[in-house]
Chains A and B, each alone.
Chain A
Amino acid sequence: MLGTEPQIIASYVETGRVKIVFWPVLNHGDPSIYSTLTAECVGQQGSDAFWTVHELLFTNQRDLWTAGRNYYVDTAVRVGVDQATFEACYDSPSSLDAVLALDNLRRQRGVFNQPTFDVNGQIIAGLHSYEVFADVFDRMSVER
C-alpha cells in the first residue's frame, strides 16, 4: 500500500474521512517477525514513531531479509526513540508474544494472504490503484 498511501493520507486520512489500521502479517519467518517486533517496540514509545518506522521499514524492505538485531536497533534510534527502552522491549518475550498473538488473530479472521484490506467489512485482496480505494471510500462514506 506504500505506493498509494501518500495520496490516500492526503485525500482521506488528513481530512478525517478514513482511518488506517495496520495489522501485521508474519508470512516470511524471522524477517517478518523481527521487523514487526521492531515496529511494535518503537510504537510502544509513541504512535507517531510507529508510523515513522512503519514507513522506514517498508522503504528499506530489501534490507530486512538479512537484517539482524543491530540493524533494528539502529532503525529505532533513527526514528528517535530511546535505545535502552527499545532494546528491553525487543529482547522481551512478552513483546514477541504480542506480535505473534496479532498474527494468530488475523489467521482466525481468515486472512492468509497479504496485502489484504478490510474496508468497513468489505475485503479487498491484493494491491490496487489509488482510484480503486478512492471509489470504495467514497461509496462507504455515502452509505454511512
Chain B
Amino acid sequence: MIVLLALLAACSGSATEPTSAPAAAATDTAADDASVETESETAGEPAEPEPAATEVTDQPEEATSTAGLNGRNEDGTFYRGAADAPVTIIEYSDFL
C-alpha cells in the first residue's frame, strides 16, 4: 500500500512538471528584463517587420559591387570598371 501510494505520488508529480516548467521559463525571461531586452532588440529584430521596414526607407539601396571603380566619360556617359581596362563594352540600351 505504501509502495502504491508512493508510486501514485511520483506519477502525479511528473505529470504537472512539464506544464509548470515553461511557465517558470517564461517568468525567468520576463524577470531578466534588462539583459533580455538588449539581446532581443538586436537578435530578434529581423523577425519584427516594423523596424525592418523603417530601415528600408531610411537606408539607401546597396552600392554596386564596382563602387570606387565607377566614373563618367567626357561625353556624359557613365562607366563601371577600371578606366584603363583593355576591353570597353558600350551598352546601348533603354531602361524599358
| A interface residues (Cβ-Cβ under 8 A, vs B) | 1, 9-10, 12-14, 16-28, 31-32, 35-36, 39-40, 43, 47-48, 50-58, 61, 64-65, 78-80, 98, 101-102, 105-106, 111, 114-120, 133, 137, 140-141, 144
Interface string of B61-81 (1 = CB under 8 A from A): 111111111111101111111
Task: Specify which chain B residues have a CB less than 8 angstroms from the CB of A141 in the assembled complex.
Answer: 86-87
Would you call B87 and A115 a contact (CB within 8 A)?
no
Task: Specify which chain B residues have a CB less than 8 angstroms from the CB of A58 in the assembled complex.
Answer: 95
B96 interface contact, C-beta 8 A: yes
Would you call B92 and A23 a contact (CB within 8 A)?
yes
> Nearest B residue to A8 by beta-carbon distance?
B89
Task: Specify which chain B residues have a CB less than 8 angstroms from the CB of A39 in the assembled complex.
Answer: 78, 95
> Nearest A residue to B56 by beta-carbon distance?
A78
Would you call B94 and A117 a contact (CB within 8 A)?
no
- A39 vs B78: C-alpha distance when bound (angstroms): 10
Task: Specify which chain B residues have a CB less than 8 angstroms from the CB of A35 in the assembled complex.
Answer: 95-96
A-B contact count (CB 8 A): 170
B93 interface contact, C-beta 8 A: yes
Would you call A23 and B90 a contact (CB within 8 A)?
yes
Task: Specify which chain B residues have a CB less than 8 angstroms from the CB of A65 in the assembled complex.
Answer: 96
B47 interface contact, C-beta 8 A: no
One of B60, B76, B82 near A102 (C-beta < 8 A): B76
Task: Specify which chain B residues have a CB less than 8 angstroms from the CB of A53 in the assembled complex.
Answer: 61
Task: Specify which chain B residues have a CB less than 8 angstroms from the CB of A19 in the assembled complex.
Answer: 79-83, 85, 87-89
> Nearest B residue to A28 by beta-carbon distance?
B96
> Nearest B residue to A10 by beta-carbon distance?
B65
